Amino acid sequence: MDYGYHSFVIKKEDVSEQVDYLQNTLLIPISDMVFTSIALRNNPYVVISYPNYLFQLLDNRNSLIEWSGGTSGIFSIEGDYIKIKHINPLVSKFASCKNETTLVSGTTYTVLYKITEKTTRVEANFALHTNGVTEATLLENSIGVHATLTVADSSSLGDVIFFSYDGLNEEYIIFRAVLVKGDLTGLSDAEIEDIVMNTEYGLFVI
């Protein structure tokens, strides 16, 4: 999917300052910027263009160490994936894990994820909380890649929580997930797979 380029015109003497902002604040590599000199009313200007970037919000770097267990169940790292397992459902029906990030209230995000293995039944739902929302977003829990929309209700720093509930003792699900602002539900399975497996954190272009 091609998201095109963002372009704007700036006075030639302001180019260095703008490039510094793009590099150090927006984290856009200078190698991705295209500079075109133009004249407007005989004054020198520069058109700066760069790809429309997407930002992956869940920190999957360093062997997923930024993920942690939730309040129930067993959490573990299985290679490039996360495993949550139900234990003692008489005490708690939930198995969960979380990743800290900042979302914008009322904003739509797409959770892209891949499930590689599961023993949970259909009745054991897979779901997502964004920064403590009271109503969860239900996620497809079949093996494979998926894209689902969710809307954040808080703009404060908080946890994005994935959880399985109504599972039986020892039932589990193994998955890997990313979160991106906007609607990416039109991606192909191959594109979802590429983003989920190769975008650890931060800016990327597809």
* Spatial CA neighbour of 27 closest among 60, 59, 63, 56: 56
Predicted TM-score of the model (pTM): 0.77
43-57 confidence digits (pLDDT tens)? 999 999 988 778 888
The answer on pLDDT for 132 being more than 70 is: no
59 phi and psi angles, rounded to 5 deg: -85, 100
- Residue 59 exposed, middle or buried by CB count within 10 Å (0-12, 13-18, 19+): middle
**Mean pLDDT along residues 103-132:** 83
- Confidence grade of residue 157 (pLDDT, cut at 50, 70, 90): low
Domain ranges, ordered by start, for the chain: 5-52, 56-204
20-46 confidence digits (pLDDT tens)? 988 877 778 899 899 999 999 899 999
CATH of range 56-204; options 1.10.357, 3.30.2010, 3.40.50, 2.60.120: 2.60.120
Instruction: Give Cα 135 to chain centroid, integer Å.
Output: 20
Out of 77-91, 102-116, 130-144, least confident range:
130-144
